[in-house]
């Protein structure tokens, strides 16, 4: 079996966390100077490992192995959420690089290789999975023309030009080149850590169904408008959300989650009855039947609220992704490798968060490996994973890839 170098692995992760260091995490938004420096450093590190590395026209790093035989693609992303964790994305990139190095150095795997990818902007500063979608041919030039930074409005084209990537070709997948795609990631939840488990073999990446609920009433004076005469859009929102809260548990599956991320009342003043309310609501599940059931119930509750009046209530779909099923054979490879390094401490589990693997799964057998997140924390600079769990995860990841290459 290939042998990883724990010191090299951890050293690379700690070097990477210096690009945009923020408290104990990182602030490395897509195409910020720190992000660009991290991409260049990572590409160089791939070259030092004998891979041919480039940053392509959408900002992804691709490092390809010169091996003539079977190859696997592995990777994740390098940019971070704002002021967030040091491992979210970075861990999967460095695991891929370490696997590439260990496998290239293993005489038993002569001729086999690992290509390494760091897909750009998985964290969505400009768009939605633009790096992995570009790679699997699901990103049109027209969409790139349209996209802009969601915080400061900078057009994506302008950002690409500023960092010297305008006009560079985008790397697309090469039919038949890879046996599989592997992505390692921190769990971001507490399923593993709370049961003292070490490895998660991901069964599916859940779908996210995102909605905007808009409620229109009448803006009016909060002192002179009787309760009977009001058309209070805020109150209608509260009643609808309370009804969702009552109804969803009975319809949800074990791991379904649903979230109201925003409630905006207009104008939002203490003495004015809100004339308009906007609610962002989403649910996630890996099962199409559950998604369809919740969608139907949401539509029923919205229609009921609209019919009940006095406010009009409408629903707009902002996104309805499909669950992405991970390859069962690849899950088996992860669990078999885990059984060697940490017997009895690995499980199959879905991913509640979206990942690049959901797009790679459309073109080749794909799988994800999760390592434990301390406290289940993510998207915050306190996110962390024990170093021994990182090293263990890299061993299992590399062995699983090796077993696939060898098969």
Query: Where do contacts with a copy of itself occur on this chain (CB under 8 A)?
Result: 187-191, 206, 208, 210, 219-227, 229, 232, 234-235, 237-239, 241-242, 245, 249, 252, 255-265, 268-274, 280, 282, 284, 318, 351-354, 376-380
Phi (first) and psi of residue 40, to 5 degrees = -65, -40
Residues facing 284 on adjacent strands: 208, 257
- Cβ proximity to a copy of itself, 138 vs 272, nearer residue: 272
Q: How far is the CB of 245 from a copy of itself (least distance, A)?
A: 6
Closest CA to 95 of 334, 406, 382: 334
Sign of torsion over alpha carbons 366, 371, 376, 378 = negative
- Cβ proximity to a copy of itself, 169 vs 261, nearer residue: 261
Q: How far is the CB of 321 from a copy of itself (least distance, A)?
A: 11
267: preceding bond cis by omega (within 30 degrees): yes
> Rounded to an integer, what distance in angstroms lies between the CA atom of residue 348 and that of residue 200?
6
Q: How far is the CB of 335 from a copy of itself (least distance, A)?
A: 21
Sequence-distant (≥ 6) Cβ neighbours of residue 37 within 8 angstroms: 19
- Cβ proximity to a copy of itself, 358 vs 398, nearer residue: 358
Q: How far is the CB of 314 from a copy of itself (least distance, A)?
A: 18
β-strand pairing of 366-371 with 181-186:
parallel
- Cβ proximity to a copy of itself, 167 vs 226, nearer residue: 226
Closest CA to 147 of 131, 170, 135, 163: 131
- Cβ proximity to a copy of itself, 31 vs 209, nearer residue: 209
- Cβ proximity to a copy of itself, 52 vs 264, nearer residue: 264
Query: In 3-state terms, what secondary structure has residue 293?
Result: helix
Q: How far is the CB of 339 from a copy of itself (least distance, A)?
A: 25
- Cβ proximity to a copy of itself, 290 vs 401, nearer residue: 290
Q: How far is the CB of 57 from a copy of itself (least distance, A)?
A: 28
- Using only C-alpha atoms, the chain has a radius of gyration, in whole angstroms, of 23
Q: How far is the CB of 167 from a copy of itself (least distance, A)?
A: 33
Sign of torsion over alpha carbons 267, 271, 275, 278 = positive
> Rounded to an integer, what distance in angstroms lies between the CA atom of residue 241 and that of residue 22?
36
């Amino acid at each position: 079996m290939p042998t990883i170098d724990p010191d090299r692995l951890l050293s690379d992760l700690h070097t990477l966390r210096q690009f945009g260091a923020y408290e104990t995490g990182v602030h490395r938004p897509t195409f910020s100077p720190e992000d660009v420096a991290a991409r260049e450093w990572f590409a160089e590190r791939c070259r030092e490992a004998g891979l041919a590395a480039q940053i392509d026209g959408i900002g992804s790093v691709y490092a390809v192995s010169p091996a003539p035989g079977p190859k696997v693609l592995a990777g994740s992303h390098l940019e971070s959420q704002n002021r967030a964790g040091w491992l979210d994305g970075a861990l999967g990139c460095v695991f891929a690089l370490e696997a590439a190095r260990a496998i290239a150095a293993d005489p038993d795997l002569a001729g086999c290789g690992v290509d390494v990818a760091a897909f750009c902007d998985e964290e969505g500063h400009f768009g939605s999975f633009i790096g992995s979608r570009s790679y699997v041919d699901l990103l049109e030039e027209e969409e790139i023309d349209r996209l802009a930074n969601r915080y400061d409005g900078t057009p994506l084209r302008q950002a690409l030009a500023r960092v010297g990537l305008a006009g560079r070709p985008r790397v697309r997948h090469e039919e038949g080149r890879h046996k599989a795609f592997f992505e390692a990631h921190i769990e971001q939840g507490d399923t593993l850590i709370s049961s003292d488990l070490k490895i998660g073999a991901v069964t599916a990446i859940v779908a996210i169904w995102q909605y905007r609920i808009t409620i229109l009433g009448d803006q009016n004076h909060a002192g002179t408008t009787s309760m009977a005469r009001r058309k209070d859009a805020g109150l209608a929102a509260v009643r609808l959300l309370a009804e969702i809260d009552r109804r969803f548990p009975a319809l949800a599956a074990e791991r379904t989650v649903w979230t109201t991320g925003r409630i905006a009342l207009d104008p939002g003043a203490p003495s004015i009855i809100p004339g308009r309310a906007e609610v962002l609501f989403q649910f996630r599940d890996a099962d199409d039947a559950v998604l369809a059931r919740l969608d139907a119930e949401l539509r029923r509750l919205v229609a009921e609220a609209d019919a009940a009046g006095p406010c009009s209530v409408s629903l707009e779909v902002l996104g309805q992704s499909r669950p992405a099923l991970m390859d069962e054979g690849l899950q088996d490879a992860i669990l078999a490798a885990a059984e060697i390094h940490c017997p009895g401490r690995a499980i199959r589990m879905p991913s509640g968060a979206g990942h690049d693997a959901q797009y790679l799964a459309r073109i080749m057998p794909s799988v994800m490996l999760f390592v434990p997140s301390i406290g289940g924390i993510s998207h915050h600079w306190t996110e962390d994973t024990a170093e021994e769990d990182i090293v263990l995860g890299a061993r299992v990841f590399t062995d699983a890839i090796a077993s696939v290459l060898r098969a």
